[in-house]
Amino acid sequence: MDDRTRLYVSGFIAATIAYVTTVLAFAGRFAIFEWIAFVIAFLVVFVGFDRFVVWLESQE
């Protein structure tokens, strides 16, 4: 597994744990569809930021 894949996996796991604990602490329930929406939004932002960093590094 390369560094970029490990970064994606660890970021996904950390975001999921943070989301689940926050939702359970404040709402007291877990909705799978809200979690799926969060995962999609998180991955879009995460991949977008990663591509932006790669693009910036290529400009140097």
Identify which of 34, 42, 41, 48 has the alpha carbon closest to the alpha carbon of residue 15: 42
Q: Is the pLDDT of residue 8 over 90?
A: no
Give the pLDDT score at 30: 87
Report the phi/psi class of residue 39: left, alpha or beta, with left for phi > 0 and alpha for psi in -120 to 50.
alpha
Residue 35 makes CB contacts below 8 A (sequence gap 6+) with 16, 19, 20, 23
For the chain, give every domain's residue range. Answer: 3-59
pTM across the whole model = 0.75
Contact of 30 with 23, CB cutoff 8 Å: yes
Identify which of 49, 32, 43, 57 has the alpha carbon closest to the alpha carbon of residue 9: 43
Q: How confident is the model at residue 60 (pLDDT cuts 50, 70, 90)?
A: confident
Give percent of the chain with pLDDT exceeding 70.
100
